[in-house]
Amino acid sequence: MTGLSSLFAEPGEAALPRLTPEENKVVRRELAELEAGDYSGPLLDSLRKLAAAVPERVHDDSARVLLRMHEIAGSGNYQSCLSSLPLVRACFELGLVSVDSEEGQGPAELIVGRGHIAPSFYAEHYVRGTFPFTPLATLHQGGLTGVIHRDLGFRNTMRYSLGVGVAQAVSLAGAMAERGDNRKVVCLAGDGELQEGVVFECLRFAHDAGLTNLVLVVDANDMGIEPLPKPLSRDYLAGYLHRVEEVDGLDAKAVSDSLGELLAAPGSAALVCRTRKGDHSFKPKPAEGSAAPAKPAKVSFAATTGRMLADRQERTGRELAVFTADMANRFGLRGKVPYTNTGLAETLSLGLTLALPERTLKVVATDAMYYMDSLSMLTEATTSVRNLLVLAGRSWGAWGGAHNAANLLGLVMNTRVYEPVTEAEFDACLDRLDHNPDITHVLSTVDAKFDPPGADCSADVDGGVWITPPAAGDLGTALVTFGYATVLVAEANRDLGLPHLHCAALDPDLDAETVARLRGSERLLAIEYNGAHGGFGERLRTKYLLPAEVHGVQRDIANRVHDKQLRLHRMSPAQLRELLDGRPSDTDGEDRPGEEARRAAARA
């Protein structure tokens, strides 16, 4: 399969049971057209071609399409997308969205800083006849990303960085002014991301550089991931931009009229659109008539952090200062420990630890990938703050981002990175911090639901523990794993019984006997669910000269939900079992080039 077929045929078929009869009928027609026609060209052109070939529209309201996309997927940022939908509609009405014209030909250039509202654009494209329905039914499951990307008609692409859209807009505005292009640059942003340090720098620069062609359109719903500490300050925007207007952001015509006026008027401007937003993440409604669960559902490991911190504080009496970049709910902090929410300003979260009493345990809780925005402040904190605990939340959802965040954090000065998978390991890491307060302890805190493995490293979080002990004599195939991968491998290894060593530390200190046992194995697999390049397995190879075959994520995390990520990167228990058995695993048709040669070299 090539082109659209390779991206959407299989997930489209899988989505059929979740569709309404009318949706099902149209998707089947589109799938048949994909099989019969040639859709191997550029992605956006192919989408338009398929929409023209099957012109029937199941829905004519983009709000309804947006809801159905999230109901079918079962996940996503539905309320964020719905909040910005009137703004998106206004952009279509004003010709800021490329439907069939070449980039750069519209009345203004559009930069989408609120990167996770891509589904709003897809929904509007659909009702206007330029997108088919099948890709919309496969959101987060295939080639249709939840975050904006150039391949899907956007002027810019975003990954994990909040606030970077404003930087892209200022960059483009400056370049256009330099070459004499008198059109304006419109940047769609959210009031949450305006709390980012990069936005302050960008608006100050735009003002000082005299840029008059920047129009900031702000979805002001008083929410980031959680409620913002304070509403957006118009005075702040007025200090850097020539005009600040306010409009009802739920009225697409009012937004379109006001934005049109600002585009025609001289000078830079901000259009503050007052909107509403509910829960940050989509929560599917329970099926009608479904019985209540017999027992409480498991929660993610990350969500137990608040309770674990509270238990430790009660046990030790230690003073605790907790800062979070809008993620108290993710880490289960509410009602467990006092905390300070800095909004979406993770750089500030680190900065607030710099002058606290030395003895205080300072906890900064945010996403592992967000630290790519604030490495300078992280380095400042790791070199000057004692008793600093960084909770680097780790998930694989609709946002994407660098796959090797844990590895990068391990390279920051004065840090040690761990990925605990039991409460005992979590507590042991904090014990270690008590004895080594000059070293910042980074805990990669997994946002996934799982049963803990049969053993843990709490007695020595820097070493390793045998989940499945080796028998006497030489080892055949032996396994060594890091963090969350241990849980997946333990399930795959349940019936095989291969010797399996678990490590909580990204850079473990193994004793001589353990190293000798591993070195004597016929085949040694080092398995991790983070970036394999320069990560856990490669560290074992270089530090101990172990002939390890490294198995892990070899490329960037794609924009897919967690279970899809596992299969994409050959980390599902079923695929791991085939790997442990020595059989090639199913890679969903996405095998890595040179894989067999790499395996042979690793075993040589």
In a domain, 420, yes or no: yes
Same domain, 139 and 231: yes
**pLDDT per residue as tens digits for the range 417-426:** 999 999 999 9
The per-residue b/e assignment along 398-412, b for 16 or more CB within 10 angstroms, e otherwise, is bbbbbbbbbbbbbeb
- Look at residue 153 and tell me if it is in a domain: yes
Asked whether residue 136 falls in the same domain as residue 241, the answer is yes
Q: Is residue 48 part of a domain?
A: no
Contacts of 328 (CB under 8 A, 6+ apart): 226, 306, 334, 339, 341, 365
Of residues 4 and 401, which shows the higher confidence score? 4
Does residue 321 lie in a domain region?
A: yes
Least confident of 178-182, 215-219, 492-496, 587-591: 587-591
φ/ψ (deg, to 5) at 466 = -80, 115
Q: Which range (35-49, 118-132, 294-308) has the least confidence?
A: 294-308
597: confidence class by pLDDT, cuts 50, 70, 90: very low
Q: Which two tokens stand for residue 485?
A: 């991968």
Residue 477: which domain range?
A: 465-581
Q: Tell me: do 370 and 519 sit in the same domain.
A: no
Residues 75 and 212 in one domain: yes
Instruction: Give the per-residue pLDDT at 41.
Output: 86
**Which residues, other chains included, contact 316 with Cβ-Cβ below 8 Å and sequence gap of 6+?**
none
Residues 399 and 476 in one domain: no
Q: Which one-letter DSSP state was computed for residue 557?
A: P
Residue 123 is part of a domain; what is its CATH number? Answer: 3.40.50.970
Statement to judge: residues 438 and 479 lie in one domain: no
Query: Which pLDDT score is estimated for 279?
Result: 79
**H-helix or E-strand containing 43?**
helix 43-53
Instruction: Flag whether pLDDT at 251 surpasses 50.
Output: yes
Is 235 within the bounds of a domain? yes
pLDDT at 290: 47
- Asked whether the beta carbons of 392 and 445 are under 8 A apart, the reply is yes
Q: Is the pLDDT of residue 287 over 80?
A: no
Q: CA distances (Å), 217 to each of 117, 276, 278, 290, 482, in order? A: 14, 15, 20, 43, 44
Q: Are residues 227 and 111 in the same domain?
A: yes
Contact criterion met (CB below 8 Å) for 465 and 440: no
Q: Which pLDDT tens digit goes with each residue over 473-521?
A: 767 899 999 999 999 999 999 999 999 999 999 999 999 999 999 999 9
Q: Is the pLDDT of residue 467 over 70?
A: yes
Q: Token pair 């967000």 is at which residue? A: 370
Nearest by Cα to 26 from 61, 63, 64, 53? 53
CA dihedral sign, ordered 583, 585, 590, 593: negative
Sheet with 440-446, edge to edge strand ranges: 340-341, 320-324, 361-367, 388-394, 440-446, 415-418
User: In a 10 Å sphere around its CB, with 0-12 CB exposed, 13-18 middle and 19+ buried, how is residue 86 labelled?
Assistant: buried
Is the pLDDT reported for residue 1 higher than 50?
A: no
> Is 388 or 155 the better-scoring residue by pLDDT?
388
Arithmetic mean of pLDDT over the chain: 88
CA atoms within 13 A on the CB side of 63: 9
Q: How many domains in the chain? A: 3
pLDDT tens, position by position, 57-103: 999 999 999 999 999 988 888 999 999 999 999 999 999 997 665 55
